[in-house]
């Protein structure tokens, strides 16, 4: 050919095989991410046939890391984290410490350096948020209380890893092989370098919070006013990569951290959902290239050359993380089902492990053999994770049948799932039960409260229920599709049930419970579309409303009032 097509060949090979193997993984009920990793192995130097350009793929992977972290920042919600902070924060920190210590001991036995052993342990302790979200969504667990705890737990892990990525270059400059003269550096030197690095990071964060939080959303609004979709998409991508690059150049922070904060700042804008939607195809494409590039540097020979070491790595990821997670959740007095859900969520490693291990390899802090062991452990754990999720319910059934202790642990009640005995009985007669205390449910409650109508709230988020109880508002936590929740809300004595939740899947169960316990109860349902209204009316469940209809009615009313002047 008259010109160099190395980049095109790399993209064609990477995307083509990623599609084939990703589709195969999907048909086998496994995450497509596993197929992308295998595609990377197939076009890497460890396998015969076509070999893609590793140098180019690594640069493309850097862009993938930026956009992955940008997406994490864009969807990062302190509100979601605060809802489960009492278990997610201490639980995640303890789990990381315990599993990292376990990995550290194993790596030290393998004669790794102190910093190399820490990287190895950390890499095995942090689960993939990408894998978890997709598995929870496919299993219908994402909006459940157990799913929210698992996601909050992994958000804390992500934040810990962001800090680790910031500090790693500093530690590498002191303990890495490329800094032999500083191997005997004093603790004062170490603290000084860490202090300087943290000061730079603090300056970057301050700049982003003070300037970026105001400037980036405004810039997005200015571009949105142009009416051009392509300019809006370009603005989002330019922000992600531009902030990542200049933060690395000016403040010596990683591309990952820069992109993460760019996403967080744009997440403050009212256009954040559109930014996420418009950038999603490009983020997905480069995320695929990231996982393909990871697979390219994986040497499959490690599987038969070091089977014992690989078995140890898999055991730490699967058994170690799961056992520690289950034990910690049980210690926080949650039921066995919640403990198993969180434990299985932790039994895999992914993108952050790849990034951390890749940095360790590039800085000569871990050997290629250890890097390959981490990648092999990630690939196998991701492949097994969906099967572990499928086994949660059978395992619970089996344990309940054969163990009194398991039955006792599974029957634990969350204190917030019980209506306090201090609630005045007069408030629990002819009251309104509101399911869902989101934007719609909250407005309904405030309107009813203004008219002195008694209400009981049923809400999934524990943190929200805690806040409501502090205000002496009767509230219980849990999924209202479970009859126990509506029983605790005293649906048998209620006058009206308002279902204000966005999720329409379990409405039939709520209606069935309410009508069984209280045949006279009136039911009002928040619908998402005219089709849902038609369905609910056909089933005779109650009156339904869509936010769009109410919005249209209000706008029309305002217009009519204005025209009458």
Predicted local distance difference test score (pLDDT) of residue 184: 44
Q: State residue 502 phi and psi, 5-degree precision.
A: -75, -25
Are 498 and 486 contacting, i.e. CB atoms less than 8 angstroms apart?
A: no
Confidence label for 185 from pLDDT (cuts 50, 70 and 90): very low
Gap between the Cα atoms of 256 and 466, Å rounded: 35
Are 151 and 131 contacting, i.e. CB atoms less than 8 angstroms apart?
A: no
Q: Does residue 413 have a pLDDT over 70?
A: no
Q: Does residue 445 have a pLDDT over 60?
A: yes
Q: Does residue 132 have a pLDDT over 80?
A: no
Q: Does residue 112 have a pLDDT over 80?
A: yes
SS3 call for 517: helix
Least confident of 24-28, 147-151, 316-320: 147-151
In this structure, the strands spanning 543-545 and 522-526 are parallel
Gap between the Cα atoms of 469 and 454, Å rounded: 14
Predicted local distance difference test score (pLDDT) of residue 178: 46
pLDDT (mean) for 382-391: 80
- The structure tokens listed for 71 are 């997406």
Q: Does residue 300 have a pLDDT over 90?
A: no
SS3 call for 523: strand
Confidence label for 81 from pLDDT (cuts 50, 70 and 90): low
Average model confidence (pLDDT) across the chain: 80
Are 266 and 74 contacting, i.e. CB atoms less than 8 angstroms apart?
A: yes
Percent of the chain with pLDDT over 90: 9
Cα 560 to Cα 38, 60, 321, distances in angstroms: 62, 56, 62
Taking the model in full, what pTM does it have? 0.68
Phi-psi region of 333 (alpha: psi -120 to 50; beta: other; left: phi over 0): left
How many other C-beta atoms lie within 10 A of the C-beta of residue 358? 22
Predicted local distance difference test score (pLDDT) of residue 106: 93
DSSP annotation of 260 reads: H
Place of tokens 């982003």: 208
Q: Which of 39, 72, 1, 543 is nearest to 293 (CA)?
A: 39
Predicted local distance difference test score (pLDDT) of residue 179: 43
């Amino acid at each position: 050919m008259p010109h160099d097509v190395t980049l095109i060949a790399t993209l064609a090979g990477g995307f083509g095989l990623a599609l084939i193997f990703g589709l195969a993984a999907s048909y086998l009920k496994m995450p497509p991410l596993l197929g992308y990793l295998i595609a990377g192995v197939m076009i890497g130097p460890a396998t015969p046939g076509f070999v893609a350009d590793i140098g180019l793929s690594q640069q493309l992977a850097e862009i993938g890391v930026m956009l992955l972290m940008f997406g994490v920042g864009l969807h990062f919600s302190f509100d979601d984290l605060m809802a489960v902070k009492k278990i997610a924060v201490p639980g995640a920190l303890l789990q990381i410490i315990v599993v990292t210590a376990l990995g550290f001991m194993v790596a030290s036995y393998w004669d790794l350096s102190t910093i190399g052993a820490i990287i190895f342990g950390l890499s095995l302790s942090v689960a993939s948020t990408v894998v978890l979200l997709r598995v929870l969504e496919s299993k219908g667990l994402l909006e459940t209380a157990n799913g929210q705890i698992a996601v909050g737990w992994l958000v804390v892990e992500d934040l810990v890893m962001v800090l680790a990525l910031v500090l790693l270059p500093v530690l590498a400059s002191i303990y890495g092989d490329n800094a032999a003269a500083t191997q005997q550096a004093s603790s004062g030197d170490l603290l000084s370098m860490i202090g300087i690095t943290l000061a730079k990071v603090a300056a970057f964060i301050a700049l982003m919070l003070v300037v970026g939080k105001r400037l980036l959303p405004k810039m997005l609004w200015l571009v949105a006013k142009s009416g051009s979709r392509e300019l809006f998409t370009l603005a989002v991508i330019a922000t992600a990569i531009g902030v990542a690059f200049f933060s690395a150049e000016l403040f010596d922070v990683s591309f990952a951290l820069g992109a993460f904060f760019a996403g967080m700042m744009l997440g403050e804008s009212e256009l954040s959902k559109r930014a996420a939607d418009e950038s999603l195809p490009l983020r997905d494409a480069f995320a695929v290239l990231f996982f393909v590039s990871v697979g390219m540097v994986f040497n499959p020979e490690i599987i038969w050359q070091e089977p014992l070491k690989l078995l140890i790595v898999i055991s730490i990821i699967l058994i170690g993380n799961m056992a520690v997670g289950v034990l910690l959740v049980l210690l926080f007095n949650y039921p066995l089902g919640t403990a198993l859900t969180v434990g299985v969520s932790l039994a895999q490693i992914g993108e952050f492990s790849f990034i951390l291990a890749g940095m360790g390899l590039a800085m000569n802090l871990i050997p290629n053999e250890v890097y390959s062991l981490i990648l092999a452990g990630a690939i196998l754990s991701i492949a097994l994770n969906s099967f572990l999720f499928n086994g949660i319910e059978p395992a619970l059934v089996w344990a309940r049948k054969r163990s009194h202790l398991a039955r006792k642990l599974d029957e634990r009640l969350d204190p917030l799932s019980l209506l306090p005995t201090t609630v005045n009985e007069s408030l629990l007669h002819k009251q309104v039960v509101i399911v869902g205390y989101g934007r719609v449910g909250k407005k309904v409650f405030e309107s009813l409260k203004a008219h002195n109508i008694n209400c009981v709230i049923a809400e999934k988020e524990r943190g929200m229920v805690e806040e409501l109880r502090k205000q002496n508002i009767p509230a219980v936590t849990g999924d209202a599709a479970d009859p126990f929740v509506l029983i605790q809300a005293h649906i048998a004595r209620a006058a009206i049930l308002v279902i204000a939740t966005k999720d329409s899947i379990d409405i039939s169960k709520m209606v069935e419970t309410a009508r069984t316990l209280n045949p006279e109860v009136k039911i009002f349902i928040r619908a998402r579309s005219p089709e849902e209204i038609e369905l609910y009316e056909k089933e005779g469940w109650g009156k339904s409303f869509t936010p769009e209809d109410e919005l249209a009615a209000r706008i029309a009313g305002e217009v009519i009032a204005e025209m009458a002047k």
